[in-house]
Structure 1
Amino acid sequence: MEKPRRAVVVTGFGPFGEHAVNASWIAVQELEKLGLRDDVDLHVYEVPVEYQTVQRLIPALWKKHSPQLVVHVGVSGMATTVTLEKCGHNVGYKGLDNCRFCPGSQCCVEGGPECIDSIIDMDTVCKRVSALGLDVTVTISKDAGRYLCDFTYYTSLYQSRGRSAFVHVPPLGKPYTAEQLGRALQAIIEEMLDVLEHSEDKINCQHEH
């Protein structure tokens, strides 16, 4: 039986602050060149660093593609590794975006849970990618930083009931090249799809008995 085609959406961010070139979008474009496995349709988007655009765009992407998984990629000036974020946070958004705006309530979803975890087991993904012997170090984090990265992640997790992931990359050359980041994203997303499919097989088996 041929596997049904699946959509995967991957986003990177546009420029902001001192990041005139945003490593996350460069890395996503490298990933697009490499592609994912054969049964996956990859759709990439550059997201502007604007709260209100994110709130409109994320639901629109889910509606348009009905993806199996959405992976958001962002840059962190403090990161020296490729970092898998476990969860998104609802409250504490005080930083102004590129439009000099921040949410009046300082939260993503009024009345939403404080924290939403991805349904993907990031520890497993991290272990598997680390075992591949790529020239990139992968680590785990529970704090995506309460700016547009965290805001986007929470919005997406809320929308998708946890079928989203977030990956932080360091700025280009600190220490990784665009190619290295693209290859790391490819490996990470393929492992995420694998972990997701296995957890779904388990759920389906339980339903059948």
Structure 2
Amino acid sequence: MTAAVLLTGFAPFDGADINESWQAVQAAAAQLRADGIEVAQLELPVEFDAAGYLLEAAVREHRPGLVVATGLAAGRRAVTPERVAINVRDARIPDNAGDRPVDEPVVPGGPVGHFSTLPIKAIVAALAQEPAIPAAVSQTAGTYVCNDVFYRLLHLLATDPGLAGMRGGFVHLPAAADLPVEDSARALVRAVRTCLATPEDVVLTGGAEH
């Protein structure tokens, strides 16, 4: 089975009843399909190893041209495409399987980091045209399962010749208290459309002092 786009979000974790990333993915996928774009969607468990394995399997099954993984960033008030995934696991809290790795690599022997292959600055520029949806480039995806999935995805795309040309990356979404899920879904739709229409990123300021 092939799909133009693979979207992923996460299951609830840390005692929460919902995870806004999965809610946003479901709504965005429905809208993109209504617009004629082939979309596969996948809810990932908040578990080291399991989430990455499931994502890798889905990439190989669906062979999309574009993979946009998403996760919840409680406390952030903006939609934040991530610039870089780092090869470290350092869990502040246990995952849903009870694992809590500290200072372990995501991929033993892998490079220190992988840069997103999404046009992250073009995404931020596009979202600036959407009313009431703040957006910014993020310089860190953390060291929990979101970063784990992000790194595993990019490492797969960088090392599997059979996936040459596939682009992928990660977008963090705010909690519903800071941005309604429908706005996060609208942001994802705009992000996907921007990726499909933008083969190379634009040159815009998107750095940070800290």
**TM tier, smaller:** 0.7 to 0.9
Distance in structure 2 (CA, Å) of the matches to 1:80 and 1:23: 13
Which residue is 2:167 aligned to? Answer: 163
Sequence identity percentage = 29
Query: Structure 1: any 5+ residue segments left out of the alignment?
Result: 200-209
The structure number with the bigger radius of gyration is: 1
Q: Aligned with 1:40: secondary structure?
A: coil
RMSD in angstroms over aligned alpha carbons? 2.1
Which residue is 1:173 aligned to? Answer: 177
Of the structure 1 ranges 35-44 and 23-32, higher mean CA displacement relative to structure 2 is found in 35-44
**Which structure carries more helix by proportion?**
1
Which residue is 1:106 aligned to? Answer: 104
Matched length: 192
Runs (4+) of structure 1 moved beyond 3 Å? Answer: 36-39, 102-105
Query: Structure 2: any 5+ residue segments left out of the alignment?
Result: 159-165, 202-210
Q: TM-score under structure 2 normalisation?
A: 0.83
Cα shift at 1:114: 0.7
2:3 touches 2:40 (CA, 8 Å); kept in 1?
no
> Equivalences for 1:69-108 in 2 at 5 Å?
69-95=66-92, 96-103=94-101, 106-108=104-106
Cα shift at 1:81: 0.7
2:69 touches 2:170 (CA, 8 Å); kept in 1?
yes
Cα shift at 1:158: 0.6
1:134 touches 1:184 (CA, 8 Å); kept in 2?
no
1:9 touches 1:43 (CA, 8 Å); kept in 2?
yes
Which residue is 2:21 aligned to? Answer: 24
1:86 touches 1:141 (CA, 8 Å); kept in 2?
yes
Cα shift at 1:18: 4.3
> Equivalences for 1:1-209 in 2 at 5 Å?
6-35=3-32, 38=35, 40-95=37-92, 96-103=94-101, 106-130=104-128, 132-161=129-158, 163-174=167-178, 176-196=179-199
Letter in 2 for 1:187: R
